[in-house]
Structure 1
């Protein structure tokens, strides 16, 4: 009999047997009220409108825990509550199974509106009319189409899988409305696969808030509670990100700075301490390593399982909103790393969620990532596609995020990424492109830019896949920007060489301009360059202590002058000697020493110089914004070029990547007059040698570097100079 399924925790259609049930037409009575309370000894039903008893329910003779009340045929179903007695205590209960309509119609999203997932699934706070009262409730809905039974478990039922079986719908969702469940209540799902086997208790894939180890419980959360101060965020004045300065400070929230007890800062503490620092240093944006909930600290967030929940390691979702809000009030943009490439196998997570490969490709040649020992999302599954795009939109809508940097794009684009022959399955045309992932990226970017036109999307893509940052209607993937991994690898390889050998690798510095306008590039010196035995940036530099610092200073200034937006990982500005560790703070004590204060001051001055000098950013993605003056002086390891803005103003850049000063170095300039040095990485303010260059230089007539005028410099060792024509007072 169907009632036996309740006791076996296998009931998939509790709405057909619990709550008010009609009796047969030929019966002398018309209504049956049935409840299942395994721990109860006595149950009475009372009218929600009058408070008067409807009757005492009788314990079923054959099915312990099942209580029934038969009402006369003339009686109608009405709102009720239950008075329940157990062996040890008594309580009142609003039976969830009288709210079937409210649960049945919970899910009605359509594929063209992926944001409906986070508006309808998970735990949604609602209000119900019950008798003469309005009561608060939570509507739970989870997608598990291949499950045979799903129960809601949590604080509301003492984590008893028998207590609240969920109702299966025709479209694969399981639903239940539970009265008097408020924000903060913990819950999970108890799922049995299609063969009736019990799976590990699953956290809610759509949870807005989650506990840490060991429970990994999901929490009901109220998104309406926080009062934003940046109320005009979606209606702010449009800014063209391509022609605007963008200097990004990449950081990991748990290790930027820690308290005296080595505990990470909370989101609110981070707002209080980080924002003044960012303003002082002159960065325009911060980029957070993933804050989406993840089980393992050592993944830095790159193995997430909660794509709709900011990690509770540092506070609540409201605390994270406060952090973003404070950044916006200070004029700082917030970019989040977002990981749609893969997820870990933890039992409470997405892997084999309903006993099937619901979220991941089934074949390990497609569904298992050998580099990261994690599952790969099935980009051909319509629900998974909606789930991922909904996650992106969720962070923009509910947390006012300014941009998303998509991690590991290359691993998604290619079936053979990091795989040997025979370890991958070609696409329908026999090639290695994952058409499903390509389609997903185009849809993701279309949705983001159509609904949040001032947001930006950034691809971490390390190959030469074409048109990553070109519009979808032109055949591109639709990203706003792409990380320039080629520039990063080539330039770091060059600057790591002993200056004596750099003449043989000069092309490593100049090659990036061959393809500089193929994409909207960001130049990254990210966390990936200072972990896993790679050493810090300072320790990549050759030479003695002074030369290491000088090399790094010259390199940073070269980066800020090169076309493309900028990204630096936290600690780069301190010239740390040690690799970054997520388990401790940056080495802030280094600022007690002149060398490290000098490096920090240089990054500060580079940011502020960059932001106030339009030639350094305005035409980043136009050939008109850059001109080589001399890119062939490999023997002396020097480079010179100019950057230009739309009004024709120019900044001249000269780099000397040897420890030898260059006397009487000639530099072609466009106009006659006086030129001034606006930045010199060899300055004593940066722990440089303060080699005399001259603050004001007069041009001389005579063609040089193809320009009608030239100036004569005394070029310092291991240094980069910025110059411009002196403005009239």
Structure 2
């Protein structure tokens, strides 16, 4: 029996080896007079060494006393060579494979490796190992960051999930690597990690896996089938425009429950191309926003507890199928925003929690690393590899899937160390305050990376506090987001709308207050999924009154939202007054479109979207000069009136919303200009199941002062309705 590196071999046999290349594969023999081959195949009965490109037998290996260890030697050979192994198992079957330990990591040119593209060098990377000028071996190069691990093995379909067979190698940088020949697209795998304590941890999903199976395996899947040919070149090369000066009406949806088949199965990505894309286009939305489509184990989390930030959820198809859906949306001139969750991650045993036996991804102290509200872990934003992991993930979606915008979930929980915690349950920052400086630095770096490298893309913060400068550039000491959800507007306006119109006169400020801060940030006005679940009721059930009044209230609120400065976001179902609360387990109630009230709300939503796209005076959502109050203090009648202006101010419109059931036949309102005003939206019109109270569609101004203006009109104001009048020039 030839001499071998007994200590390393012992580590291999007991699955805690960090340097398998130090003892496996071809080695210079101990006497330095030739070459020695060591192979570790614990299930093998015998092994024959074959030439790499033929069936020529180079040696029959000798079994050592350590079952599974085989050796062969070439005493007079000094030139390393490549080879295959014909392995015969105890059942008599023989399988031929290329030994991975003849290809050290030094064999390969290191893939691109910097913070914004880590996904190109970690995880499972399709790789060719060059043997000579005419032969290369295809396979997969696995790489995983686990610096606290004692050893790491890759396990999968290719080795019977046996952690003894493919120990990985680490060169001291914390990354474990191994090239495994012949592992192709669609192969399932995980990592078996032994902690420093000696404990073998539950098999871990690859943090960079681009496909992950559902329960019960949660296996990573190699993903090299990049067959989709993008056809959205016109979209991705379109001129860069100022998004703040263009309409943005966002349709937020959960792909699994938007529309379902007769057997209650969700539509696939490919089926959504035929159903969702034309629907969104016809309805006049400029963007869709997808609840998280990164892989997640629990359906009831809606995707907000992700395990697999680099994997498109397999619930609805493959990554290539999802690319086809994005492509189709782009070809319909619809942008795609995805909800992205860097604020927390679940503690599922196959995920990132305690990944290598230590707190590699989460803050070690639960006072900083555990979310009591969501029972989930918090990323340690003070670790460079965590920040790089997240930023690389953001770039991955923009580059590989042509995503246009990232809506960052739960930003407030990242900014504040005491978020959802009582006194004594949190750790102050170095200055004794409650701001998480590390998270703030991460968010700034994220936004700088996105806007520097992808100027057509944007970020949106779901941020519910008055933290300053969320949507201000980082050079102005802001966080650098493009937009911020206006949660204050949402809470105040919904609280107002739920009141009986009789009492609204005492709460006029709930609506007018939003204009005090409307231009402090670049706001999106959201009526999101969070407002129609967990006992909050659907939008229509929030409205007071009998059936007619409920729908009239909803129409008036819709008008108020679209006339108010700010980009628009509505959750699916709001457009036709979904009756039940949203449930991720069933389809929207599309049958309601057979009922006139719901059909009318659907028509109004469509008309408001197209009006918003075509009315220049409504486009400038983020500049103070785009808005002017006409009347905000008529609380007795619960009427708001304001003017909206285009950027050049050569176009303007007049918005009037009546939040009571009392119509007004002669309501005098001051106007910015003399001339004629034409009604371009009346939510009380008969086609919307309104009362049709207002019959006049054009108004000429009179030289009668009102509301501090020299000219005015005497307006017909319908009950529970919104009007928009466009100034169309001088009087005839």
The answer (yes or no) to whether the contact 1:693–1:716 under 8 Å persists in 2 is no
TM-score (norm 1): 0.97
Secondary structure of 2:704's match? strand
Q: Counterpart in 1 of 2:47?
A: 43
Secondary structure of 1:302's match? coil
Equivalent residue pairs, number: 722
The one of 1, 11, 19 equivalent to 1:5 is: 11
1:495-540 CA distances to partner (integer Å, 9 max, x unpaired)? 1111111111110000011011110000000000000100011111
The answer (yes or no) to whether the contact 2:459–2:483 under 8 Å persists in 1 is yes
Q: Counterpart in 2 of 1:723?
A: 725
Q: Counterpart in 2 of 1:483?
A: 485
Displacement after TM superposition at 1:66 (Å): 0.6
1:444-496 CA distances to partner (integer Å, 9 max, x unpaired)? 00000111011010000000000000001110000000000000000001111
Structure 2 residue runs of 5 or longer lacking an equivalent are: 1-6
Query: Which has the higher mean CA deviation after the structures are superposed, 522-531 or 84-93?
Result: 84-93
Q: Counterpart in 1 of 2:4?
A: none
The answer (yes or no) to whether the contact 1:103–1:176 under 8 Å persists in 2 is no
Q: Counterpart in 2 of 1:32?
A: 36
1:140-172 CA distances to partner (integer Å, 9 max, x unpaired)? 000000011111100110111111111122110
Rounded Cα–Cα distance in structure 2 between residues aligned with 1:306 and 1:115: 17
Query: Taking structure 1 as reference, are residues 76 and 537 closer, same or farther at Cα in structure 2, changes over 3 Å only?
Result: same
Q: Counterpart in 1 of 2:217?
A: 215
Structure 2 residue 70 is the aligned partner of structure 1 residue 70: no
Displacement after TM superposition at 1:697 (Å): 1.6
Displacement after TM superposition at 1:233 (Å): 4.6
Rounded Cα–Cα distance in structure 2 between residues aligned with 1:223 and 1:472: 39
Displacement after TM superposition at 1:237 (Å): 1.3
1:369-428 CA distances to partner (integer Å, 9 max, x unpaired)? 000000000000110000011110000010000000000000000000010000000000
Rounded Cα–Cα distance in structure 1 between residues aligned with 2:662 and 2:367: 54
Displacement after TM superposition at 1:103 (Å): 6.5
Displacement after TM superposition at 1:216 (Å): 0.5
Q: Counterpart in 1 of 2:241?
A: 239
Structure 2 residue 207 is the aligned partner of structure 1 residue 205: yes
Displacement after TM superposition at 1:333 (Å): 0.2
The one of 457, 465, 468 equivalent to 2:467 is: 465
Q: Counterpart in 1 of 2:95?
A: 91
Off by >4 Å, runs of 4+ in structure 1: 102-108
Secondary structure of 1:310's match? coil
The answer (yes or no) to whether the contact 1:106–1:139 under 8 Å persists in 2 is no
The correspondence of residues 211-610 of structure 1 with structure 2, limited to 5 A, is 211-222=213-224, 224-610=226-612
Rounded Cα–Cα distance in structure 2 between residues aligned with 1:669 and 1:724: 11
Q: Counterpart in 2 of 1:81?
A: 84
Rounded Cα–Cα distance in structure 1 between residues aligned with 2:568 and 2:46: 69
Displacement after TM superposition at 1:566 (Å): 0.3
The answer (yes or no) to whether the contact 1:379–1:440 under 8 Å persists in 2 is yes
The answer (yes or no) to whether the contact 1:106–1:175 under 8 Å persists in 2 is no
1:691-711 CA distances to partner (integer Å, 9 max, x unpaired)? 134112221112222222211
The answer (yes or no) to whether the contact 1:34–1:69 under 8 Å persists in 2 is yes
Q: Counterpart in 1 of 2:3?
A: none
Query: Taking structure 1 as reference, are residues 414 and 390 closer, same or farther at Cα in structure 2, changes over 3 Å only?
Result: same
The answer (yes or no) to whether the contact 1:103–1:175 under 8 Å persists in 2 is no
Query: Which has the higher mean CA deviation after the structures are superposed, 535-544 or 127-136?
Result: 127-136
The one of 56, 59, 64 equivalent to 1:55 is: 59
Q: Counterpart in 2 of 1:691?
A: 693
The answer (yes or no) to whether the contact 1:103–1:177 under 8 Å persists in 2 is no
Structure 1 residue runs of 5 or longer lacking an equivalent are: none
Rounded Cα–Cα distance in structure 2 between residues aligned with 1:607 and 1:217: 43
Q: Counterpart in 2 of 1:637?
A: 638
Displacement after TM superposition at 1:222 (Å): 1.4
Secondary structure of 2:224's match? coil
Displacement after TM superposition at 1:50 (Å): 5.1
Q: Counterpart in 1 of 2:188?
A: 186
The answer (yes or no) to whether the contact 1:234–1:452 under 8 Å persists in 2 is no
Rounded Cα–Cα distance in structure 2 between residues aligned with 1:585 and 1:597: 17
Secondary structure of 2:559's match? helix
